[in-house]
Chains A and B, each alone.
Chain A
Amino acid sequence: MQADDRTGPPEGGLPGRLLKAPENFIDAAGVRTVFAEAKQGRRDFIRRAFASAVGAGAAGGAVVAQAQSNPVPTEGGDPNILELPEHSRNLGQGVASEGYGKPSKYESNVQRRPSPGLTQTTQSSVSFAPLQSLFGIVTPSGLHFERHHQGWWDVDPSKHRLMVNGSDEKMVKTPKVFTLDEIMRLPAVSRFHFIECGANSGMEWGNVAVPTVQYSHGMLSCSEFTGVPLKIVLDLCGVDYKRGRYVLAEGADGSSMTRTIPMEMIESGEVLLAYGQNGEMLRPENGYPLRLVVPGVQGVSWVKYLRRIEVGDAPYAAKDEAVHYIDLMPGGLHRQYTSIQECKSVVTTPSGGQVLLDKGFYNISGLAWSGRGRVAKVDVSVDGGRNWRPARIEGPVQTKALTRFNIDWVWDGRPAIIQSRATDETGYVQPSYKQLRAVRGKRSIYHNNAIQSWLVQESGEVKNVQLS
């Protein structure tokens, strides 16, 4: 569906077919006029706007009051321009009136949210990042998704300790204890990585269960993490790398979360003891003051409030490796130690629960990522997967980090099904639900990386759908 395919502006009105702008300042015909005028170019737009102002409804009375994004002048002009607002006529606020600045009060809709009915307690629960409202690849730390197993804590960093020891006495030459002062003294690296819960999109394995991208894909965030490669700390303790092929990471909170990490990943230098996140310290909800960063691996392995690393010669079958985070296959067996988050993408705007205000141009935007490396390519379809166009990738493309993509689209007002499909540098292609279910059935809960479909209805309302 190329840009040229668009049907022309208002064919015969069809009043009420499009939803009004939420502000209700302008009717559907008015919105169409605004978009049409804008399309014809600025000079034309100004001329006609002027004409409408003096000529009393030259455009058939369609031009009224102001549209939400581009006010149509009446009475000689937009009152937002003609009547200077407070902030243009008065003294503003002083520096440091907020010692730690907050988002605009007009952004208060942008919140991380729990999914109603998903969990019965708030301490063993999850809140989802509002992907539909985010730009670029960085998740603001206060909007980072949360998953706690036994509630979160604000741990005093001066009292926090990291211990490194072995599963037997010969595994680590000198088991050691480190303070935060010491960890922060070690050689530091800063890297962007995504973190995705293994159960992200898990509610949708069998059928559509949630309305928006926040709930379907919001257990996903991306930050710049700063810390020290775990390898450096293990070297300091003298690890027997020949025998010690596994590492157990353990948290200091109530659940003392444990997960097994392969030593190969640590030897590659990518596993970090992280204290920094997006230029500041980790947020308490994300493990302040120390968490493990395990790029490309599901979030449960990124142990928060990290207190201990044990080097061992066998995997540990921790609760979240033996009761949860195991994938039920059609033959009744569970796959154990499935950890890699495979290549996946999702269109974040337009997406479920949103409404397009009119036909015409839209920037389809979304996120792609792979636990196996870099995103190589993202294709977008607006016809439910029959035809695809490659999207523009916003660089720099980083390994095991979110990658933003954009693509132009002109909506002709007819129903459309928007999808995105990512391919990573290993050549792995994100599957459709049909392809994924053919291999893994519908009951896995974890590691759902299927292509997401958003149905744009004639009303402009976007719905979460799955194709049969």
Chain B
Amino acid sequence: MFSSREWTGLRSAALALAGLTLGAAVWAQAIPKEGGAALAGIGRPATAKEIAAWDIDVRPDFKGLPKGSGSVAQGMDVWEGKCAQCHGIFGESNEVFSPLVGGTTADDVKTGKVARLLDEAYPGRTTLMKVASISTLWDYIHRAMPWNAPKSLKVDEVYAVTAYLLNMGGVLPDNFVLSDRTMAEAQARLPNRNGMTLDHGMWPGKSLKTGGKPELRPDVKAVACMKDCEAEPKVGSFLPDFARNAHGNLAEQNRIVGAQHGVDTTRPAGAAPAPVVAAAPAAKAVEAGGSAAVMPLLQKNACMACHGVDNKIVGPAYRDVAKKYSGRADAVAYLTGKIKAGGSGVWGAVPMPAQALPEADARLIAQWLADGAKK
């Protein structure tokens, strides 16, 4: 009854430890036993400077939190300069990312449990409705924000913007200064600080709730009934007809041969499918033709974080930009300037920051836009 993997495991274990009894559990995750002295010289001690450069995590007990401070007012400046493009002026998001703020009340700040989480009809869950540890916000903003320039915020800016975020959510007052010394005070006001439970059997180590005594069991207990099990099955949910083609033509998402083929969802259910040519069209190459040189530039300079070729994200779609300036003789020069200097007002209130890329690259992108922004 041994699988080939078991034999492999047994063999290596046996090679490493001659005379080992072949216990059932031994093979499964056998760790090769070469170790200790045999591996000496592999890896070198990390320097203090290296550790300081990379060890940036902050835990809920604030281990790892650097000294520093920032006020709500300072945070507002950081927010409007670097965060509002994606998260909205008030943290309500701009349809691109999930809202950070909203759904919490002054009462939640007192109880530490967000009452709205009981309301099944409430449309979404904001970050402040969920997060129970302020260290999480600080750590993540510090390591990963802004989205297209992660790790660029200074420590004081992180304190400030965290303070402003919590101020927008009614958690911290306008005059609050968040610092390594006041983090605990802010933590004690988090609206969902008492909203987590460790009472489950889905942690792959000793239970975080019980310490392993006892180990928690799975919460859902089903039985493998084999005969006459359920009442007559009734279909309770299915996709409405209007969504039939919402994921594209499913005929083109299945192999052209096989026991069953994909349904032609461009046609109504039950209709005869369109004749399909032997080789179905390949999925559109994302980078092809005239865009071959430009796409890497757009990626490299994080342009695609805010602009899609066909779709508006934060900024307008490249196609729409191309259309708007298609009749303009100086389009290349104009757009080169816009890319370099940034701007706002043409496509809405959200500003585009100035871009620090070489003039030649900006010109290449502008030329591509002037040529119609073809994929």
Set of chain A residues within 8 Å of B51, measured between Cβ atoms? 163, 165, 175
Q: Closest Cβ of chain A: how far from B103's Cβ, in Å?
A: 12
Is B144 in contact with A318, judged by CB distance below 8 angstroms?
Answer: no
Any B CB within 8 A of the CB of A93 = no
Interface string of A253-280 (1 = CB under 8 A from B): 0111010011111001110000000000
Offer 30 A-B interface pairs, CB within 8 angstroms, sorted by A: A24-B275, A24-B276, A108-B283, A113-B253, A116-B246, A122-B304, A123-B304, A123-B305, A176-B43, A177-B46, A178-B43, A189-B32, A211-B246, A232-B32, A250-B54, A255-B150, A262-B204, A265-B204, A265-B205, A316-B59, A332-B118, A334-B192, A335-B196, A353-B262, A417-B233, A432-B222, A464-B238, A464-B239, A465-B238, A468-B236
Is B3 in contact with A322, judged by CB distance below 8 angstroms?
Answer: no
Give CA–CA (A449, B60) in the complex, Å. Answer: 30
Is B260 in contact with A269, judged by CB distance below 8 angstroms?
Answer: no
Any B CB within 8 A of the CB of A65 = no
Contacts A167-B64, A211-B243, A423-B224 known; 20 new A-B pairs at CB < 8 A: A105-B282, A108-B281, A109-B283, A116-B246, A121-B96, A214-B253, A232-B35, A233-B43, A322-B196, A332-B118, A337-B208, A350-B260, A353-B250, A353-B262, A357-B261, A397-B3, A429-B223, A463-B238, A465-B236, A465-B238
Any B CB within 8 A of the CB of A208 = yes
Interface range on chain A (Cβ under 8 Å from partner)? 35 or more
Any A CB within 8 A of the CB of B175 = no
Any B CB within 8 A of the CB of A141 = no
Per a CB cutoff under 8 Å, which of A69, A105, A269, A379 touches B279? A105
Report whether over half of chain B's contact residues are helix, strand or loop; otherwise say mixed: loop
A353-B263, A395-B3 known; A386 vs B136 contact (CB < 8 Å)? no
Per a CB cutoff under 8 Å, which of A185, A237, A354 touches B262? A354
Is A176 in contact with B29, judged by CB distance below 8 angstroms?
Answer: no
Q: Closest Cβ of chain A: how far from B313's Cβ, in Å?
A: 6
Per a CB cutoff under 8 Å, which of B5, B45, B127, B144 touches A176? B45
**Which one, A3-11, A15-23, A36-44, A282-290, is touching chain B?**
A15-23
Interface string of A310-337 (1 = CB under 8 A from B): 1010111111011100111101111111
List B residues at the A interface (Cβ < 8 Å). 3-6, 12, 28-32, 34-36, 39, 42-46, 50-51, 54-57, 59-61, 63-64, 95-97, 113-115, 117-118, 120, 125, 127, 130-133, 135-136, 139-140, 143-144, 147, 150-151, 192, 195-206, 208, 218-230, 232-239, 243-244, 246-248, 250-265, 269-270, 272-276, 278-283, 304-305, 313
Q: Closest Cβ of chain A: how far from B314's Cβ, in Å?
A: 9
Is B259 in contact with A163, judged by CB distance below 8 angstroms?
Answer: no
Q: Closest Cβ of chain B: how far from A380's Cβ, in Å?
A: 11
Set of chain B residues within 8 Å of A182, measured between Cβ atoms? 42-43
Q: Closest Cβ of chain B: how far from A64's Cβ, in Å?
A: 15
Any B CB within 8 A of the CB of A383 = yes
Is A109 in contact with B202, judged by CB distance below 8 angstroms?
Answer: no
Residue ID in chain B nearest A168 by CB atoms: B63
A22-B273, A109-B254 known; A116 vs B247 contact (CB < 8 Å)? yes
Any B CB within 8 A of the CB of A388 = yes
Set of chain A residues within 8 Å of B304, measured between Cβ atoms? 121-123
Is B247 in contact with A109, judged by CB distance below 8 angstroms?
Answer: no
Give CA–CA (A443, B263) in the complex, Å. Answer: 31
Any B CB within 8 A of the CB of A436 = yes
Residue ID in chain A nearest B250 by CB atoms: A353
Is A357 in contact with B260, judged by CB distance below 8 angstroms?
Answer: yes
Set of chain A residues within 8 Å of B56, measured between Cβ atoms? 256
Set of chain A residues within 8 Å of B114, measured between Cβ atoms? 332
Residue ID in chain B nearest A445 by CB atoms: B125
Is A150 in contact with B262, judged by CB distance below 8 angstroms?
Answer: no
Is B203 in contact with A337, judged by CB distance below 8 angstroms?
Answer: yes
Set of chain A residues within 8 Å of B143, measured between Cβ atoms? 255-256, 258
Q: Closest Cβ of chain A: how far from B300's Cβ, in Å?
A: 11
Give CA–CA (A338, B198) in the complex, Å. Answer: 8
Is B269 in contact with A319, judged by CB distance below 8 angstroms?
Answer: no
Per a CB cutoff under 8 Å, which of B42, B223, B255, B281 touches A107? B255
Is A130 in contact with B253, judged by CB distance below 8 angstroms?
Answer: yes
Give CA–CA (A419, B290) in the complex, Å. Answer: 48
Is B237 in contact with A466, judged by CB distance below 8 angstroms?
Answer: yes
A182-B42, A254-B144, A397-B3 known; A354 vs B254 contact (CB < 8 Å)? yes
Q: Closest Cβ of chain B: how far from A133's Cβ, in Å?
A: 5
Please list the 7 inter-chain residue pairs (A to B) with the smallest Cβ-Cβ separation, ordered nearest first: A262-B205, A468-B236, A384-B233, A396-B3, A187-B32, A353-B250, A269-B31
